[in-house]
Structure 1
Amino acid sequence: MQAIHLALQKIGVELYGSAYHKAGILVFEKPGDGYGFPMPKNGRYLLVGADKTFEG
């Protein structure tokens, strides 16, 4: 179970750290609403939208 959680966090880090996110090109459902992946605590300052509400 921990391996799955860590893998999902890795996906979140990759998404939020991508040039596409920084440029505002990467969108899931609604622009600025986040991607729905968990983030490690030290990366939560990057969260936006609903992700920030639930994780931040």
Structure 2
Amino acid sequence: MKDEVTAGVQFISRLVNRNDKLDKERLEQFGECLISILCERFTRHWYPEKPLKGQAYR
């Protein structure tokens, strides 16, 4: 789950900073916070053995 969430956060971070107006430190902090929030939220809705289960929640 962490790999998928990290990939999504990297995509969102690039969108947020597409004009290079945020410094690298703030962008990394944003990414770390977003990863922890999303991992916490999806913990009980992620089933690697049944990928379709819980996908409506995500």
Q: TM-score, normalised by structure 1?
A: 0.38
Greater relative contact order structure (CA < 8 Å, 6+ sep)? 2
**Whose helix proportion is higher, 1 or 2?**
2
Q: TM-score, normalised by structure 2?
A: 0.37
